[in-house]
Amino acid sequence: MSGQGCTLEINMEISIIGERDFTLGFQLCGIKNIQNVEKSDYTNFNKVFTETIENSDIGIVVVNETYYQKMPIQIKKKLEKLVSPVVVALSDEDSAGGSDLRTLIKR
């Protein structure tokens, strides 16, 4: 072996989809691919989400867990067949019991 390894360069973006309160922190961290949706507008979320996962430049999609749970089964089945992007569903303050956690931290 000559000691030369195979170099693989992958340039993919992170995309964040959710309500403004959910996406703001990611935007402040420098993530540029932010898709804001109106509160409880699941139809628009599903449209934006589908367009995002079909974009080959996107490697990771971060969404609010509430929106992910209400996603139609057809979209979830489509996700099962995809290698990329990776979809990460994060809990928001309400679904994660955030107010209880704040109380514990204050103690």
Query: Peptide bond preceding 72: is omega within 30 degrees of 0, i.e. cis?
Result: no
Q: In what order do the strands lie in the sheet with 58-64?
A: 33-36, 13-18, 58-64, 86-90
- Helix pair angle (42-53, 73-81), 10° resolution: 20
Query: Is the confidence at residue 9, as pLDDT, over 90?
Result: no
pLDDT one-digit tens code per residue, 73-92: 999 999 999 889 999 999 87
pLDDT one-digit tens code per residue, 35-75: 999 999 999 999 999 999 999 999 999 999 999 999 999 99
Q: Which helix (H) or strand (E) holds 98?
A: helix 98-106
